[in-house]
Amino acid sequence: MKLLVPFVLALAPLAGLAQTLTNEGATITVGAGATLYVVGSVENKATGTLVNSGTVQLTGDLTNVGTLTSPGTLLFAGSTNQTFSPGPATVAVLTLNNSGAAGANTLRVAADLSVSGALTLLNGLVRTAPVGASTPLATLTLPDGATLTGEAAGRYVQGNLRAVRNAVGGTTAVAFPNSAALDPKGQSLGTVTITRTAGLLAPGLSYGQNAGATTKGIDRVWSVVATVPPTALVNLALSWVADDDNGFVLSNPALLFRAASAAGPWTRQGLVGPAATRNFAADVTTLGTFTLSNANAPLPVELTRFTAEPTGGDALLRWATASEKNNDHFDVEASADGKAFRRIGTVAGHGNTTQPQEYQLIDQGIARYAADPVYYRLRQVDQDGSESFSPVRTVRVAAIAGLTAAAWPNPFATAGPALTLRTALAGPATLLVHDALGRPVLSRPLALPAGTTTLPLAELGQLATGVYVLTLAQGAAHVRLKLVRE
């Protein structure tokens, strides 16, 4: 049996009876430009086929266990709560225009669903978990190119809303339809998937809190995953609606927090800033799960200051905390290019304290990096191994005469290191590498230009593990480096 809807077909209930359009063994086709209007529910049985190229509008539930293909619009326009059980449905456009009162205007999505074209919210809430549930039962996905319009207070997606964007890269922020934007700052991150969990009032699921449950974040978390993880800073911008304030005070400063999952523990990212408009952005170096809170919210370590300044030929690094929770230590990391960071020192933390603490470390002889400026950051590590990163600071290197060199990475592996050279004068030079017994393993004449030069040493990756000594000579100037092959 086939039912073709060429224009408008309205199915109204009999007096005093609820209407359910049940399709069992038939094919119902709604043509382009046509509308199937059901005052009640639609049930597409396992043997049923529903092909919608126009509009299917209903005031009740839609249950599918058969074949549902909808390149057209599914319009939920009831006045009480509705449920969509999609089964193996293919849906392009989903619109919610539920006129029910607050608390009775929710479209509950009972299983995972992908909306490939447009999700439009005119009235009501979409929820991927039953009211009161602590665990979302479904995820609503907007694949690359899909859009979401109409989110506002009292009208948004509760539960899991996932958005995918392909080929994320360049220097322009990429907007995701689940209230997030990611600026890769020139990096190519591949496919980025952001899953937002919101509006469930479930600690450790839709919002974060500290270990003592005394402070908490907004009722939204975002899990950010890239097929190519960033190696340098990216900028993450997030926003939310008033329904999800969860105690957030708009007049107080905000902080971005990161964790491996919504269960925490949470570590701060970036600096304190305003969020009076329920928007906030910060630089991060590691992706994961993020949320926002006032400055006194889930906070293992509250970094209040981090500075780096030159002193003679050294760099003086200073930082301070207002409070610490489970703080094991700080790794101080340096970089010659702002991308590849290496640990140069470790400073023990104070564990748990509510008192301000001061720290410092001196990086001696920063001319050895053969770079200007030198980049620094802090890697704060909790007692459970979780970590967070400070903003990056730079120190300018005073101009020097003679010759300097640095190898990155060092220790190195099979790829071999790259040697960054800096010389005041152009001219011939000699590069020698000896093993621990003094035997030569590499000899190379060089013609160095004035300034900075990067020289790949890929062949060193073929050496056996051990310690080697690199000597660079240019006239009377000599530089010696210890290299470690892991």
Q: Can you give the pTM of this predicted structure?
A: 0.64
Tell me: do 54 and 146 sit in the same domain. Answer: yes
Band (pLDDT 50/70/90 cuts) for residue 68 is very high
The tally of domains found in the chain comes to 3
Band (pLDDT 50/70/90 cuts) for residue 345 is very high
* 100 class by beta-carbon count within 10 Å (0-12 exposed, 13-18 middle, 19+ buried): middle
Residue type, 483: L
Whether 259 is covered by a domain: the verdict is no
pLDDT at 82: 97
458-466 LR contacts (CB < 8 Å, sep 24+) = 458/415, 458/416, 459/416, 460/412, 460/416, 460/417, 460/433, 460/485, 461/412, 461/413, 461/414, 461/415, 461/416, 461/485, 462/414, 462/416, 463/435, 466/435, 466/436
Tell me: do 390 and 427 sit in the same domain. Answer: no
pLDDT over 80 at 227, yes or no? yes
Tell me how far apart the alpha carbons of residues 227 and 229 are, in angstroms, rounded to a whole number.
Answer: 6
Tell me: do 94 and 200 sit in the same domain. Answer: yes
pLDDT at 207: 93
Q: Which residue has the higher pLDDT, 260 or 368?
A: 260
Q: Domain span at residue 309?
A: 301-395
Q: Are 54 and 35 in contact (CB under 8 A)?
A: yes
Whether 184 is covered by a domain: the verdict is yes
pLDDT at 18: 61
Whether 436 is covered by a domain: the verdict is yes
Q: For the segment 298-330, what is each residue's pLDDT rounded down to a tens digit?
A: 445 667 789 999 887 789 999 988 778 778 999
Whether 242 is covered by a domain: the verdict is no
Band (pLDDT 50/70/90 cuts) for residue 244 is very high
Mean pLDDT of 217-238: 95
Mean pLDDT of 196-218: 85
CATH of residue 376's domain is 2.60.40.10
Whether 262 is covered by a domain: the verdict is no
Tell me: do 209 and 72 sit in the same domain. Answer: yes
